Structure 1
């Protein structure tokens, strides 16, 4: 890639969360000082203001997460900040940008670092008037939620068609889906196992809250009573199978996660007897056109969602190791953003 000069104000070293083996051979995340020479190649360098914490980041900090292929490594699949050096004519020094997806935080050093260096093709300019903090309060979770709901709308689902079920509603994608669907006028039924998060879900616009156990019947059936016009699912496994069994004729499911497992223990019956559509949602390689369109909506029409009291929690880089442990244990709720600028 094209080399580019760094600004004179660029520090000799800065902090990043680095995952690497310790002396005992255990894979552990820790905050330490690195330099620009430790970052991979790229034609745009960014001073990161905020990152966010996602389940994939927690896996990257885990020795058995299956995300990181070589060490040392900097995780973080999201970042928002200011360009400090650029060899890409589309991006100028001082411009605010955001980044999610591609190989960022997976095979390319990620956003849990005070500075990152990436390909300009991966960037989205921050919409006018939007804040870097709000961008990361949405992050990959927000983009995935928006893609899921966009797919259901393109399927033809309208608010008058009936309620939309959102599974895993206490997590990032689930809770943001509740907020977006409510803004669009849909009746939202939120499924969660965390009673403590129910007040937040009500603030976000959930019309009804059901227990996760409601979707885990003792006997799984491929077809049940029709209840949902559509579903936003982040769980997979038995929960997705149960949700499919209760989708209305001609309805649709947008699936983006596997927190309840990668298997899908169902039959073809929901698809061939009720005409249900199952859409897979991937935000990693979404087109730049989709990204720009949906980020504009997230950070303008729907920005109030991430201002809901008690929904977004701000943390420091030093707090990330403990937060990832909680996330892997299922103890995390709402959105966790990481402030990197002083």
Structure 2
């Protein structure tokens, strides 16, 4: 490959054309290879996170040519895996990250994705014309077919990602309140004699194992960063916040031993204080009310939210 004439024929600005495409496909390939079911694809392509990172480090036309001369199949595999991923729901976290970093609207993101896919498609065709197949494979097109079959199997085994329902940018107190609500609900005793706790334990969206991915999701987000939520996640937060609010204004709080963790002023202290500070219970109540009203106002026609609201109203009757 060192004296391949087709490489010398590439325009000198080819890397500049390919840069965004290479970066986006690299991120998508890395996301794919992070899936637990990706072992077969890693074996077929000899790619891992280290190699993907190395290829994503290509910064100019000379480095691109060097890579194409010394390990052309690695770049071929990167573009192929990235392309396969970008056309499926597996690319959702990658595209959300790119949109956040570039601060672009959805239409601009769609344009960038389309441009990169068209470029990678054309370049893959060029590579298939000139590259030899891996050892032991009759042709590169047959090799590609094997990779596409392995990808299809991975996709079939992967749960379909739900589309995003909302994008929020939360202040630190709001973010902490959402985390607190979910952690509180997650830690509720599974066996309790209180009708309210028993009823909470029957809500499908608030099961501990169902909450754990969202708790982890919120744990990774920092204040003012874009928080993308699916409708199931929004329902979990909507119900979790209200359950948290009910706990704070009922005897459930003392039953769970939370009074010391979230102290409030006694009636005597309130009476003795000319301008009593806002209690933690009041602050929680205001945040819960604000978030609840925002969800109901933003999604007035959502059947999922209406169902979640009915479940919460039934829950309130147990207090």
- Same fold, judged at TM 0.5 (above): no
TM-score, normalisation: structure 1: 0.22
Q: Which has the larger radius of gyration?
A: 2
Q: Which has the higher helix share?
A: 2
Q: Which has the higher strand share?
A: 1
TM-score, normalisation: structure 2: 0.23
